[in-house]
Amino acid sequence: SPYYENITINKSINLIGEDKNTTVIDGSKSEVIVYISADDVKISEFTIYNGRPGGMLIDFYGILFYECSNYEVSDNKFFRTDTGIGSYLGENGRIINNYFDGKIYSDSKGIKVCTSDTIIYNNYFTENSGEGIRVTSNPKSAENISIIKNVFTNNFYGIWGGAKNSLIQSNYLYNNQAGIGWLGVYTKIINNTVINTKFIITHPMYLEIFHGIDLCNDYNNISRNYVYNYLEGISLNSAEYNIISN
């Protein structure tokens, strides 16, 4: 280690490193460091490092799953990747106990997911200039995304996107530009802690306001959240039939 590799996985496998702190896959600025197109793949105990920088209109990946089911990514570290993990058009994903550091690259993201029935649990996201987690509806809307007990610090957005019938619970978001922005429906946003916005001054006379929780769709349940030190704690934007409670 480091291993200067671009890896393609097209069959079921458990890919397990010796120690995530010392087993390093260096992508040498490649567009995708590890590409998976098979079901039942597990990846753990690696540092994924040095992918190609992306931008506002294009993403590159540390690990990319395409049309995959029953995958797991656990106990890894991601540094200098435009998007740490991307997942599209599959189902039954588990992303657990990973560390995502997005500094240096513009519009960096920890996770970009469009995979139904996915659990994102107990990960740490920091210094992502895009989002810690982006739930996307492109190319197909996902359902049943569970985002639970993750930590977000010093990102532009902690969580952004939308999926139907989802759960955002017991996450800790501190010192991000904005906390949670959600466009999904029939979602429970429960027991999250959202503290300290960073304000952006884009003009001497204009202060851009970001919210602790910004809700942009209908039929959601927001309850028992703690939002502190935001100009606007909870914002409803073209949203109807939502429940907000203690």
pLDDT by residue (tens digit) across 55-72? 767 899 999 999 999 999
The two structure tokens encoding residue 151: 């930590």
- pLDDT score of 58: 85
pLDDT digits (tens, 9 = 90+) for 162-194: 999 999 999 999 999 889 999 999 999 999 999
Task: Report whether pLDDT(239) > 80.
Answer: yes
CA distance 165 to 189: 11
- pLDDT score of 209: 58
CA distance 217 to 160: 13
- pLDDT score of 198: 61
Query: What is the secondary structure of 57-72 as a DSSP string?
Result: S---EEEEEES-EEEE
Q: Would you say 97 and 72 are in contact if contact means Cβ atoms under 8 Å apart?
A: no
pLDDT band per the 50, 70, 90 thresholds, residue 202: very low
pLDDT digits (tens, 9 = 90+) for 9-35: 999 999 999 999 999 999 999 999 999
CA distance 143 to 206: 37
Q: Would you say 89 and 139 are in contact if contact means Cβ atoms under 8 Å apart?
A: yes
Which residues are bridge partners to 183 per DSSP? none
- pLDDT score of 207: 46
CB burial readout 120-155, b (16+ within 10 A) else e: bbebbbbbbbbbbbbbbeeeeebebbbbbebbbbbb
CA distance 92 to 177: 30
The two structure tokens encoding residue 186: 């029939």
- pLDDT score of 226: 94
